[in-house]
Amino acid sequence: MIQNWVKSLGFAPMRNTSGQSYRALGDEKKTWGDQQWVDAFTHDAMLLKRPLFVKDGIAVLVGFRDQGILLQINIRQSN
């Protein structure tokens, strides 16, 4: 499942870079590819940025971008 999410969004936008888990990984994380990140996300969910929106098993959006969220889930704001 997480591997599919990384395939659709890439690992970079999925990383929770402000958390302690991310900082604890050290400099080696800078050289990691998709599979290393999939393994890391699988072992420590705190490395995943939230919220993570998944539709039909495919990650479609990650993080707090209100307008982007509304567009992705096809909800219009009423004024």
> In angstroms, how far is CA 7 from the centroid of its own chain?
11
What pTM does this model have?
Answer: 0.77
Tokens of 36: 């290393």
Provide the residue-wise pLDDT of the chain in tens; the chain has 79 residues. Answer: 899 999 999 999 999 999 999 999 999 999 999 999 999 999 999 999 998 888 888 888 888 765 666 666 665 444 4
Taking the domains of the chain in order of start, what are their residue ranges? 2-72
Euclidean distance between CA atoms 53 and 58, whole angstroms: 8
Q: Residue 41: what residue type?
A: F
CATH topology of domain 2-72: Glutaredoxin (3.40.30)
Q: DSSP strand E in the chain: where?
A: 52-55, 58-62
